[in-house]
Each structure stands twice: as structure tokens, then as C-alpha cells.
């Protein structure tokens, strides 16, 4: 089925369903989306490790990257005491169809009691491009990662939604994402989109896309820090409100961290406030550590982020 046929037969149905019923999330739509959570207890959640947190180590010898990737579950568990992992396709891109390799990756995770949570997908084509042939190819490119995620036991793949959509223009991206969401559902793999630059980091655009797709198998991966910044590195939008608006559709959460102060807090983001927003949305599953700073070495940054998440898990947020 080509994309235009898919559009006629599916997009209208999905959009109508979205308008009539809040099926887009496993969580409540009643949560406050102001970004100003009330005082109360921060709930429980599981901590995973996003592989990008160790990208310098993994890319240090690119000839050995795919081999190092096999050891990622062990790194997470033995070095950091973390029992969930989030892969990045860049580290084993040429192994996506290698069943023996993927089975070995699954075995190594199981050997260390580690859950394979998701795969983050980059450089597989623009899902929002106007050209139908290129858009169709991008969908096909992503399908092999759905297959790989299913084989290794993940629940989702994270996609990049492209640059060609806005709050008032969603058709090309929604068409492709709906097709991918349908394919994912057949394989019990959710398709999730992170605020990852471009229109995806604009809550109005991303939520418009989510609603246009209208599939319960298509949701968000709110990242704490991937929002527009000025030349001084300060966020130019209210990130707390943005995260609160994304959370009703969340099927994963990314705890981005960059710089820590002397007390161990993330310097530019209030983790307590964000985690209370996450709690208020009803989310209690995996939160992935994604350390991306330069002032602290990768291992120390991961440890600092883990300590911060553990400090707030179950704690009282005072508002």
C-alpha cells in the first residue's frame, strides 16, 4: 500500500478517533499541564541508561563500536547498577539484520538481568519530507528497526519526526508516522518521538502531530532538556510547561543532564519539579539517564544523574 492510499484509508479514521476519545496515552489527561505542580510525593519509577551517555567511549574506536555495543548491558549493570538500557542505532547500524548478533545482544542483557527498553533511531530518512517516494523509503528504513527492537525485547523505538511540519501543517509527517505506528503495533513495538530539535522541540507542533496521527501506538518521549536555547545556553521556552503538555502522551521519559552544581543538582533544570510533573501525569515506568555534558566525564555524569533521580524518587516535592 502506498502512502497516499494509507492516508485516505487511515488518517481520517485515526484523527476522528483522537477527537472523540482520549486513546492516545496509557495515562490520565487530567494532569495539570501548567508546569507548576502542586506539593506532594514524587512517585516511583525505574531507571534506565541511554546509550548516548557513553557515546565518547563507544565511538573512541569505531572499528570496535559494534563489539562494545554487545557489552553495553554489562556496562550499565556492573559499572552503574542500572538494569534497563536504551540503545542508539548508530552503534550497531550494520547489525540490524544480523539475527545472530541481535540474539547475542539479547543473551548478554539477560545474563546480567538487564531489560532492553528501546532503540533510538537516527539517520534513516526524513519522515516529514514532501516527496512521497522519499517519505515511503524513510518508513521502510525504520521498519527494520521495529523488527530488531521486537527481536531483542524492547517495547519501543524512538524516531526523529523530521523538519517539515508545524501546528497547522502535519499531513506529510502524520502520514508516515501513522504507517510506522501501524507496522509497530503488529510487532508490539511502540513508536515514540522525542523533543529532538526542529518542530519536535516545539510542543505545539509535536502535539499537533501526535493528534493528527491519532494512534494509541504513537506517543512522546519527553526529554528534560531538548528545548530551544539562546546563545548563552538558557532555555527560551518554559520547559516545565512544555514537559507537562507532552506527558499525557508519554511512553518513555529522558532525564537529560548537562552540568551539576556543588550540591549535585542539575544546574539549569529542576529535577524535583520535573519528576513531580511526571508523577502527576501517572507515569511510573522507565526514566532514561542521558548525560550529555562536557564538564564532567561520562561515567561521573551518569553517576551524578542517577543519584539525583534516586534522591527525588519517593521524596516530597514542596512546590
pLDDT along the chain (319 residues), means of 10: 40 39 42 91 98 97 95 98 98 98 98 98 97 97 98 98 95 97 98 95 96 97 92 92 97 97 96 98 98 96 98 96
Distance, in Å, from the CA atom of 5 to the CA atom of 133, rounded to the nearest integer, reads 13
Instruction: Give the residue numbers spanning the domain of 306.
Output: 3-14+43-226+234-317
Distance, in Å, from the CA atom of 225 to the CA atom of 10, rounded to the nearest integer, reads 34
- End-to-end CA distance of the chain: give it in Å, rounded: 51
Report yes or no on 268 lying in a domain. yes
Report yes or no on 36 lying in a domain. no
- C-alpha dist (Å) from residue 16 to 13, 112, 190: 5, 45, 21
Three-state SS at 303: helix
The single residue listed with the C-alpha cell 501526535 is 210
Report yes or no on 107 lying in a domain. yes
Report yes or no on 25 lying in a domain. no
Report the helix count and the strand count for the chain, using DSSP H and E: 13, 10
Report yes or no on 214 lying in a domain. yes
For residue 214, give every residue at least 6 positions away whose Cβ sits within 8 Å of its Cβ, in sequence order, or none: 11, 13, 14, 15, 16, 17, 18, 23, 24, 178
For the CA atoms of 252, 293, 277, 196, what is the dihedral angle to 10 degrees? Answer: -50
Distance, in Å, from the CA atom of 31 to the CA atom of 33, rounded to the nearest integer, reads 6
pTM of the complete model: 0.90
Report yes or no on 84 lying in a domain. yes
Q: For residue 40, what is its C-alpha cell?
A: 506532594
Q: Domain count of the chain?
A: 1
- C-alpha dist (Å) from residue 303 to 50, 260, 291, 300: 13, 11, 9, 5
Task: List the beta bridge partners of residue 53.
Answer: none
Report yes or no on 30 lying in a domain. no
Which CATH number is 172's domain given? 3.20.20.150
Report yes or no on 23 lying in a domain. no
* Nearest CA among 252, 257, 265 for reference residue 226: 257
Task: List the beta bridge partners of residue 159.
Answer: 193
| Cβ–Cβ < 8 Å for 7, 175 | yes
Q: What is the pLDDT of residue 30?
A: 58
What is the CB neighbour count within 10 angstroms for residue 2? 10
Distance, in Å, from the CA atom of 286 to the CA atom of 306, rounded to the nearest integer, reads 13
Amino acid at each position: 500500500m502506498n502512502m497516499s492510499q494509507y492516508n485516505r484509508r487511515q488518517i481520517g479514521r485515526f484523527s476522528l478517533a483522537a477527537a472523540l476519545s482520549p486513546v492516545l496515552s496509557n495515562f490520565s489527561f487530567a494532569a495539570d499541564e501548567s508546569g507548576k505542580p502542586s506539593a506532594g510525593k514524587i512517585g516511583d519509577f525505574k531507571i534506565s541508561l541511554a546509550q548516548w551517555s557513553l557515546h565518547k567511549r563507544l565511538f573512541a574506536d569505531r572499528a570496535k563500536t559494534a563489539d562494545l555495543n554487545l557489552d553495553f548491558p554489562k556496562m550499565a549493570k556492573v559499572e552503574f547498577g542500572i538494569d534497563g538500557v536504551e540503545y542508539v542505532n548508530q552503534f550497531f547500524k550494520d547489525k540490524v539484520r544480523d539475527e545472530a548478533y541481535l540474539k547475542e545482544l539479547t543473551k548478554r542483557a539477560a545474563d546480567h538481568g538487564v531489560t532492553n527498553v528501546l532503540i533510538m533511531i537516527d539517520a534513516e530518512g526524513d519522515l516529514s519530507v514532501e516527496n512521497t517516494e522519499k517519505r515511503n523509503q524513510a518508513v521502510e528504513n525504520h521498519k527494520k528497526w521495529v523488527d530488531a527492537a521486537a527481536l531483542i525485547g524492547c517495547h519501543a523505538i524512538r524516531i526523529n519526526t523530521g523538519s517539515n511540519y508545524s501546528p497547522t501543517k502535519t499531513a506529510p509527517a502524520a502520514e508516515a508516522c501513522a504507517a510506522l505506528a501501524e507496522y509497530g503495533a503488529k510487532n508490539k513495538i511502540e513508536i515514540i518521538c522525542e523533543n529532538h530539535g526542529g518542530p519536535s522541540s516545539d510542543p505545539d507542533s509535536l502535539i499537533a502531530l501526535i493528534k493528527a496521527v491519532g494512534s494509541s501506538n504513537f506517543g512522546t518521549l519527553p526529554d528534560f532538556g531538548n528545548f530551544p536555547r539562546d546563545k548563552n545556553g538558557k532555555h527560551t521556552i518554559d520547559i516545565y510547561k512544555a514537559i507537562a503538555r507532552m506527558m499525557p502522551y508519554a511512553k518513555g521519559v529522558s532525564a537529560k543532564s548537562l552540568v551539576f552544581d556543588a550540591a549535585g543538582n542539575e544546574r539549569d533544570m529542576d529535577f524535583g519539579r520535573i519528576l513531580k510533573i511526571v508523577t502527576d501525569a501517572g507515569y511510573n515506568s522507565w526514566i532514561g539517564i542521558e548525560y550529555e555534558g562536557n564538564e564532567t566525564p561520562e561515567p561521573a555524569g551518569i553517576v551524578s544523574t542517577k543519584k539525583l533521580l534516586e534522591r527525588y524518587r519517593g521524596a516530597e516535592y514542596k512546590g
